[in-house]
C-alpha cells in the first residue's frame, strides 16, 4: 500500500502531541509492564530480582536501535525509518505475547526496544529539524510534559488489564497504540529532511559522520550527563515495584502511587518549558542536580536511621521531589547535546541516545539488582548520579550556571 505523503507541517500543539506519542511507544512498553512483573516471573519461571530483566532488556534493545536509527534517518529520511522500526516493534511485541519461557520473553523485549528506538530518535531529529536553541528546549520540554501522561496512565492500564485478563493481553494493547501512532504520523507528519541534505549510507560514511559529530564537545559531555541521570531513573523503574509491594505491601495500589509520582516529571517539564527561555537550560539543569543530590543525601541518612525502611510518607515525599528534579533536566540535556549539530542531528541523536542508554543500563541494573529489601541502593544512586553529572557540566566551558551563547 502506498503511504500518504503530507506536505503541510502540523501546528505546534498537534506537533507536540504527535512527537510525544511517537516517543511514548517505548515508555508505554516499559511502564505498562510494571504491575505484571511478578505474574510474568511466576508464569515463565523467573524469581528473585530476575523479573527486573523484563525492564532492563528493553533498554538494551533501545540502545542498539538508537545506534542505527538516527544514521539511517540522515540517509533515507525521517519517515521511512519510522515505518520500518515500528514494524520491528510489532514483531517483538508478538514474540512477547506468545513467549513460552523467560528467554523468549527477553528476546522479544530486546526486539521491542530496538523497534521503539526508531520513532524515539527520529522524533528528536524532527524536533531539531524544525527548531533550535532555547526554542528547541521549550518544544522538547512541552513534548516531555505530554509524554509524561504515559507513566501516569500506563501502569493503571496494565493493572486494569490484569484485573480482567492476563499479562499477555497487555502486549495486545501495546500493539494497538503503536498502530495508532504510525497511522497518525503517516497521515500528518511530512518529511523534514530534504533529499539534498541527506548523507550516503556506508560504513565509512557512518564512521566519518561519527568522527564529525563527536568533535562537538557538548554532545560528548551531555551524553555522559544523560547516562548518569537516566541510569538512576532506570534503577528507580527496575526496583520501584519491589519497593512498593515487597517493603511497603501496597499491592494493587502500586500503579496508583507510581502514577502520582510520575506527575512530578510532567509538572517539572511543563514548568521548565515556561522558564527555560528566561533563565537558560544550563542554569536550570545545574540547579536541579544540586537540589536532587542534596535531597537524596539527607534522605539516605534519614533512611539509614530507620534500617533502610523509612516511613512510607517520607519515601513518597522524597521520590516526588527527586523525580521532579529529573523531569526538569531531561528535556534540557538532550537539547544541549544536539544544539550544535544542525543537519547531523540524526547521527547526533543516535550517539547521544545509544551511548547514554547503554551506560545508563549498566548503572540502572547495578542499582536495581542491588535491591536488598531496603531503599538505600536507590537513594545512593540518586545522590551520586547528579553530583557526577554536575561535575561533567563543568567540563563544558566552566560554571554550569553561566549560560553559553547559542551556536551560529
User: What is the residue-level pLDDT of the chain in tens, covering all 408 positions?
Assistant: 344 577 677 888 888 889 988 988 988 999 999 999 989 999 998 888 889 899 999 999 988 998 888 778 888 899 999 999 999 999 999 999 999 999 999 999 999 999 999 998 888 788 878 887 777 777 776 776 666 678 778 999 999 999 998 999 999 999 999 999 999 999 988 888 888 878 777 777 777 777 777 777 888 888 999 999 999 999 998 899 899 988 999 888 888 898 888 888 878 877 877 787 777 888 889 999 999 999 999 999 999 999 999 999 999 999 999 999 998 887 788 878 877 676 666 677 778 878 888 899 999 999 998 999 999 999 999 999 999 999 998 877 666 666 555 443
Q: Can you give the three-state secondary structure of 220-256, one letter per residue?
A: HHHHHHHHHHHHHHHHHHHHHHHHHHHHCCCHHHHHH
Q: Where are the domains of the chain?
A: 12-394
CB 388 within 8 A of CB 295: no
Q: What is the architecture of the domain spanning 12-394?
A: Up-down Bundle (1.20)
Give the residue ranges of DSSP H helices in 36-148. Answer: 37-44, 53-76, 78-97, 102-130, 133-147
CA angle 140, 214, 339 (to 5 degrees): 25
CA distance 210 to 207: 5
CA dihedral 240, 243, 245, 249 (to 10 degrees): -150
Amino acid at each position: 500500500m502506498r503511504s500518504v505523503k503530507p506536505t503541510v507541517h502540523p501546528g505546534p500543539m498537534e506537533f507536540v502531541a504527535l512527537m510525544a506519542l511517537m516517543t511514548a511507544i517505548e515508555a508505554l512498553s516499559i511502564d505498562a509492564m510494571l504491575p505484571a512483573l511478578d505474574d510474568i516471573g511466576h508464569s515463565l519461571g523467573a524469581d528473585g530480582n530476575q523479573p527486573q530483566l523484563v525492564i532492563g532488556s528493553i533498554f538494551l534493545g533501545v540502545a542498539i536501535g538508537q545506534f542505527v536509527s538516527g544514521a539511517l534517518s540522515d540517509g533515507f529520511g525521517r519517515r521511512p525509518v519510522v515505518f520500518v522500526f515500528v514494524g520491528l516493534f510489532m514483531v517483538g511485541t508478538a514474540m512477547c505475547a506468545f513467549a513460552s519461557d523467560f528467554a523468549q520473553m527477553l528476546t522479544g523485549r530486546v526486539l521491542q526496544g530496538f523497534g521503539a528506538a526508531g520513532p524515539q530518535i527520529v522524533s528528536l531529529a524532527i524536533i531539531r529539524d524544525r527548531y533550535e536553541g532555547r526554542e528547541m528546549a521549550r518544544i522538547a520540554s512541552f513534548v516531555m510534559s505530554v509524554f509524561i501522561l504515559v507513566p501516569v496512565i500506563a501502569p493503571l492500564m496494565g493493572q486494569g488489564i490484569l484485573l480482567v485478563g492476563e499479562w499477555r493481553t497487555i502486549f495486545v494493547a501495546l500493539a494497538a497504540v503503536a498502530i495508532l501512532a504510525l497511522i497518525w504520523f503517516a497521515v500528518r507528519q511530512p518529511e523534514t529532511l530534504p533529499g539534498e541534505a541527506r548523507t550516503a549510507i556506508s560504513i565509512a560514511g557512518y564512521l566519518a559522520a561519527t568522527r564529525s559529530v563527536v568533535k562537538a564537545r557538548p554532545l560528548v559531555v551531555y551524553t555522559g550527563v544523560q547516562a548518569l541521570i537516566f541510569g538512576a531513573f532506570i534503577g528507580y523503574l527496575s526496583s520501584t515495584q519491589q519497593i512498593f509491594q515487597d517493603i511497603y505491601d501496597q499491592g494493587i495500589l502500586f500503579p496508583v502511587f507510581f502514577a502520582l509520582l510520575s506527575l512530578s516529571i510532567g509538572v517539572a517539564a511543563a514548568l521548565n518549558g515556561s522558564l527555560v527561555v528566561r533563565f537558560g537550560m544550563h542554569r536550570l539543569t545545574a540547579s536541579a542536580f544540586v537540589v536532587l543530590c542534596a535531597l537524596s543525601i539527607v534522605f539516605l541518612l534519614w533512611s539509614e536511621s530507620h534500617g533502610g525502611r523509612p516511613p512510607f510518607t517520607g519515601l513518597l515525599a522524597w521520590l516526588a521531589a527527586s523525580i521532579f528534579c529529573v523531569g526538569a533536566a531531561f528535556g534540557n540535556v538532550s537539547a544541549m547535546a544536539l544544539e550544535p549539530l544542525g543537519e547531523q542531528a540524526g547521527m547526533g541523536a543516535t550517539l547521544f541516545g545509544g551511548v547514554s542508554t547503554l551506560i545508563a543500563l549498566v548503572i540502572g541494573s547495578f542499582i536495581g539488582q542491588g535491591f536488598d529489601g531496603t531503599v538505600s541502593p536507590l537513594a545512593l544512586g540518586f545522590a551520586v548520579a547528579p553530583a557526577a553529572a554536575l561535575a561533567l557540566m563543568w567540563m563544558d566551558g566552566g560554571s554550569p550556571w553561566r549560560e553559553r551563547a547559542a551556536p551560529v
